[in-house]
Amino acid sequence: MNQNLIEQFKSAGQGHVFAFWEQLTAAERTALLAQAGEVDLAETARLFQSLVASKASAGSSLDGLLPAPYEQLPEKGGDAASWAQARAAGEAALRTGRVAAFTVAGGQGTRLGYDGPKGTFVITPIKGKSLFQVFAEKIAAAGRRYGRPIHWFIMTSHANHEQTETFFVEQNYFGLDRARVHFFRQGRMPAVDFNGKILLETKSSLALSPDGHGGSLRALHRSGALDIMQREGVDVLSYFQVDNPLVRCIDPEFIGFHLLRGSEMSSKMVPKVGPEEKVGHFCLQQGRVCVVEYSDMPVAMQQLTNADGSLKFGSGSIAIHVIDREFARRMAGGGVGRVIPNAPKTPEPGGLGIIRPTTEVPALPFHRADKKIPTVDASGAPVKPEKPNGVKFELFVFDALPFANNSIVIETARADDFSPVKNATGVDSAQTCRDDQLRQIARWLKAAGTTVPVDATGLPALRIEVSPLFGYDAASFTEAWNRQAIKPEIKDGLYLE
């Protein structure tokens, strides 16, 4: 059996993976074989040929690209009645327990450079709550509001799985019901050098890395998470990234639009701040919603404007989605397309109105990323490369959008949904995110009738923190604030819980 695997690697031109075999202990050999068993040699060869050897990229074709239509916020001219209907539909789904939260937390977080799972990173300005705690409290708050505790699925990686689970145990699951918090690992892909050879990380291990957030769809299936959802009556997943504590993880309006439009995968957009902002663009191609990355769209196209001066391709993707359980299963190759029973029969104004059940098994494309991958030299000595020495292959979740029937995009206010922590300093850092949290609280206080002094950017000089269990949006904050018979003094360090 072992010999078989080694032979397979040799005949695929990957025999070097076992170059140090004679020097390895029995345990190291077992571990190496287990890793080798994870590798799909044919897939690796195909990806090398198509993405590296042929110098092509998985970049999108720009043929016939149009801006994707989206549901505008009522305050931006959208139809308030539709938003109210959506809210009611989303709330009904939450009351019947159809919705689960889904966090993708398997990334390597290299830019942040924090030692530990990113979700354990401290992010609130006063209490120093971790990202995971913020989400846990938002999820608990929504569960209370709708009278149904919410299941939470968390995708980890091989590298951070144990540490993530241990953190939750140490924190007593932040008071959540343990039976409703589900961790599962995402898949891994081998990194190859520029000749297609699988890189060794050490003499006894391969350079394996997580297969991208798009790997979440197959990981949901492989791990049995989709079956747990089915058993628990969950058919809709609210998808968000681990690095964005501002996200409304459970947003009834978003969920409601998704359900009312019979969408299989929906997205939130924010207007780009300018043509140079580095976010993906929601577009329409052959009648299907897709995301074209900023690196794949020519600058001239990003600069195109409408008659009113707004950007033509101005819908920025912020990686927040609602995904149908059965769509995830189909994308994972675990089932065939289905007809959506309640989908509209004619095109909806502003919607796509396309019902095209797919019967073939769809597949996400891989993207290549050239990276500096720690490896070993011919003698087995460690090498820390100073320039990219190989390629990693990753799947992106938004590549599933064109396969989704009736996919819709809705607008959201950036300040209330998006402030990611990507970098140690500068843009999208802990500092900018804490400031955005403070600005949000200043706005909520103002909406509730109490003004705190703020600067020109809306940033208050006082640090105030609000527990999501007190209020998690302007409306719930105002309700809670109004319930306080004696209003707390607004001062630096105030914590509302």
Contact letters (x/-) for ligand UTP, 61-100, by CB under 6 A?
----------------------------------------
CA dihedral 80, 81, 84, 86 (to 10 degrees): -110
* Contact between 187 and ligand UTP per CB under 6 A: no
* Contact between 252 and ligand UTP per CB under 6 A: no
Distance CA 353, CA 346 (A): 6
One of 97, 107, 262, 390 touching ligand UTP (CB under 6 A): 107
* Contact between 213 and ligand UTP per CB under 6 A: yes
Q: Closest separation between CB of residue 373 and ligand UTP, Å? A: 13
- Distance from CA of residue 413 to its chain's centroid? 18
- For residue 205, the SS3 value is strand
One of 16, 29, 95, 111 touching ligand UTP (CB under 6 A): 111
* Contact between 323 and ligand UTP per CB under 6 A: no
Q: For residue 439, what are the CA distances in angstroms to 244, 386, 418, 436, 444?
A: 15, 40, 13, 5, 9
- Our CB check for ligand UTP shows the closer of 433 and 448 to be 433
Q: Closest separation between CB of residue 318 and ligand UTP, Å? A: 11
* Contact between 245 and ligand UTP per CB under 6 A: no
Chain positions 368 to 427 lying near ligand UTP, rule: CB under 6 A, are 422
Only one of the segments 26-34, 90-98, 236-244, 381-389 lies at the binding site for ligand UTP (rule: CB under 6 A); that segment is 236-244
Only one of the segments 144-152, 167-175, 207-215, 379-387 lies at the binding site for ligand UTP (rule: CB under 6 A); that segment is 207-215
Long-range pairs of 37-43 with CB within 8 A, sequence gap ≥ 24 = 37/5, 38/187, 38/188, 38/208, 39/190, 39/198, 39/206, 41/8, 41/9, 41/12, 41/14, 42/12
Q: Closest separation between CB of residue 177 and ligand UTP, Å? A: 24
Q: Are 415 and 421 in contact (CB under 8 A)?
A: no
Q: Closest separation between CB of residue 413 and ligand UTP, Å? A: 21
Distance CA 217, CA 78 (A): 32
Q: Closest separation between CB of residue 360 and ligand UTP, Å? A: 26
One of 106, 275, 351, 390 touching ligand UTP (CB under 6 A): 106
Distance CA 417, CA 450 (A): 22
One of 212, 262, 351, 468 touching ligand UTP (CB under 6 A): 212
Only one of the segments 240-248, 275-283, 299-307, 458-466 lies at the binding site for ligand UTP (rule: CB under 6 A); that segment is 240-248
Only one of the segments 109-117, 225-233, 253-261, 430-438 lies at the binding site for ligand UTP (rule: CB under 6 A); that segment is 109-117
Query: How is residue 258 annotated by DSSP?
Result: H
Q: Closest separation between CB of residue 164 and ligand UTP, Å? A: 11
* Contact between 243 and ligand UTP per CB under 6 A: yes
Distance CA 242, CA 152 (A): 13
Q: Within 13 A of 285's CA, how many CA atoms are on the CB side?
A: 17
* Contact between 186 and ligand UTP per CB under 6 A: yes
* Contact between 163 and ligand UTP per CB under 6 A: no
161 contacts: CB under 8 Å, gap ≥ 6: 183, 185
> Residue type at 264?
E
382 contacts: CB under 8 Å, gap ≥ 6: 202, 374, 375, 376
Q: Closest separation between CB of residue 216 and ligand UTP, Å? A: 6
Only one of the segments 4-12, 53-61, 70-78, 108-116 lies at the binding site for ligand UTP (rule: CB under 6 A); that segment is 108-116
- For residue 306, the SS3 value is coil
Distance CA 39, CA 208 (A): 9
Q: Are 174 and 152 in contact (CB under 8 A)?
A: no
Distance CA 270, CA 415 (A): 10
Q: Closest separation between CB of residue 391 and ligand UTP, Å? A: 15
* Contact between 181 and ligand UTP per CB under 6 A: no
- Our CB check for ligand UTP shows the closer of 332 and 480 to be 332
One of 90, 143, 196, 210 touching ligand UTP (CB under 6 A): 210
Which residues of this chain interact with ligand UTP, rule CB under 6 A? 104-111, 118, 155, 186, 210-213, 215, 241-243, 422
